[in-house]
Amino acid sequence: MWSVSISSFENHLKLEKGLAANSVQAYRRDIEKLYQYIELRQLNLLPQQVTEAVILDFLQYLADLVEASSQSRILSGLKSFFNYLLDNKEIEQDPTLFVSPPRMSKKLPEVLEFPDIEKMLAGIDLSTREGMRNRAIIETLYSTGIRVSELIHLKLTDIYEEINFLKVTGKGNKQRIVPIGTDAMKYIRLYINEIRCNVNIKKGEENYLFLNRLGTSLSRIMIFNIVKECAEAVGITKNVSPHTFRHSFATHLLEGGADLRAIQEMLGHESITTVEIYTHLDREYLKQMIKDFHPRESFTKG
């Protein structure tokens, strides 16, 4: 059983390798990610039955969620786990033996470290109309992981403030309900009550959440420029785009220990290996994932 093998491996790391508790937990999270994926695919495999093909499929799945460095770190944890099982004759062949780390040149967009995100948010001038709006925009991007195309089409009627959820319309006009952090919701409310209410809104644009000074909805290019200017203003030299926040959202949740299915559900992502396989999760469960594993939620609570 997975639980027995994982516990045995943990004891090995603690007692024989002398690793610190944080390091042991990191290894455990790596293995649990593979186990979650196996459950997601309904493969019903024991550790002894995992093949190289399963490992490769799992890495391909991760490639749609996180950057190459995170994939490599998880693979490293899996290699240690299966090498331990091989040494203890619990498996006959290590399924990770010939699996190479992903190429760094093919990584997804850069991830911002949490302090950089905090720096960007703190650097926004809230005394200006655009500043209050921009703070709400960046808070929303990082708190929910939604795409820039989904952000610009958010409507006032998509906000469920009483339960901290947004209704998001994604690719193929598919809708999903996404939890949003308390800080992000606070800045959305401030923007609506203090800025948006004083904009002369163009006919037909009344329901769009984020507007420009002319009272029309924002374009993708405008969001890109807002994000770029906010990053440059505080000296961040990385190539930051709206998608950087989506990718940072997924990576920070994954590395914090959040459930793979919850991350995929919130991103509204369907990869080739998981279309129609994963089940929709309870909304309260998704909200709990944000509370427990999102860095900004942890920061605001503590």
* Domain presence at residue 275: yes
Which pLDDT value is given to residue 108?
52
Same domain, residue pair 231 and 173: yes
pLDDT in tens, 145-197: 999 999 999 999 999 999 999 999 988 788 999 999 999 999 999 999 999 99
Question: Domain span at residue 198?
Answer: 114-301
Query: Does residue 259 come out as left (phi exceeding 0), alpha (psi in the -120 to 50 range) or beta?
Result: beta
246 is catalytic: yes
pLDDT at 105 over 50: no
Same domain, residue pair 126 and 32: no
Q: What is the DSSP letter of 141?
A: H
Same domain, residue pair 187 and 140: yes
> Which amino acid, one-letter code, is at 140?
T
Same domain, residue pair 156 and 295: yes
Largest CA distance in the chain: 72
147 is catalytic: yes
Domain-ending residue, one of 39, 62, 93: 93
Mapping DSSP onto H, E and C, the string for 151-182 reads HHCCEHHHEEHHHCEEEEECHHHCEEEEECCH
Instruction: Name the pLDDT band for 260 (thresholds 50, 70, 90).
Output: confident
Q: Which residue is catalytic, options 73, 186, 202, 269?
A: 269
Q: Which residue is catalytic, options 33, 107, 133, 147?
A: 147
Distant-in-sequence, close-in-space partners of 89: CB < 8 Å, separation ≥ 6: none
CB 234, CB 171: distance < 8 Å: no
CB 63, CB 102: distance < 8 Å: yes
What CATH number did the domain enclosing 43 receive? 1.10.150.130
CB 278, CB 262: distance < 8 Å: no
Q: What is the DSSP letter of 13?
A: I
Say how far apart CA 71 and CA 60 lie, in whole Å. 9
Instruction: Name the pLDDT band for 41 (thresholds 50, 70, 90).
Output: confident
Same domain, residue pair 19 and 89: yes
243 is catalytic: yes
Q: What average pLDDT does the segment 221-249 reach?
A: 93
Rg of the chain over Cα atoms, rounded to whole angstroms, equals: 21
Q: Which residue is catalytic, options 12, 133, 176, 246?
A: 246
For the chain, how many structural domains are there in total? Answer: 2
* Domain presence at residue 106: no
pLDDT averaged over the chain?
88
Cα–chain-centroid distance for residue 206? 31
Cα→Cα distances 73→31, 51, 60, Å: 11, 19, 14
Same domain, residue pair 184 and 129: yes
3-state class (DSSP) for residue 199: coil
pLDDT at 44 over 80: yes
Length of the chain: 302
Cβ count near 140 (within 10 Å): 26
Same domain, residue pair 201 and 270: yes
Alpha helices in the chain (DSSP H): 2-11, 21-40, 52-63, 68-87, 114-122, 129-144, 148-152, 182-194, 220-233, 242-256, 260-267, 283-293, 295-301
269 is catalytic: yes
153 is catalytic: no
* Domain presence at residue 101: no
Cα→Cα distances 151→74, 134, 167, 211, 246, Å: 31, 12, 11, 11, 11
Q: Which residue is catalytic, options 129, 243, 283, 291?
A: 243
Same domain, residue pair 268 and 174: yes
155 is catalytic: no
pLDDT at 104 over 90: no
Domain-ending residue, one of 39, 61, 93: 93
Alpha carbons within 13 angstroms on the beta-carbon side of residue 162 total 1
Q: Which residue is catalytic, options 35, 160, 278, 283?
A: 278
Domain-ending residue, one of 37, 60, 93: 93
* Domain presence at residue 136: yes
Instruction: Name the pLDDT band for 64 (thresholds 50, 70, 90).
Output: confident
Which pLDDT value is given to residue 228?
93
The rounded percent of the chain whose pLDDT value lies above 70 is 92
* Domain presence at residue 99: no
Same domain, residue pair 56 and 121: no
What CATH number did the domain enclosing 131 receive? 1.10.443.10
Instruction: Name the pLDDT band for 277 (thresholds 50, 70, 90).
Output: very low
Which pLDDT value is given to residue 5?
93
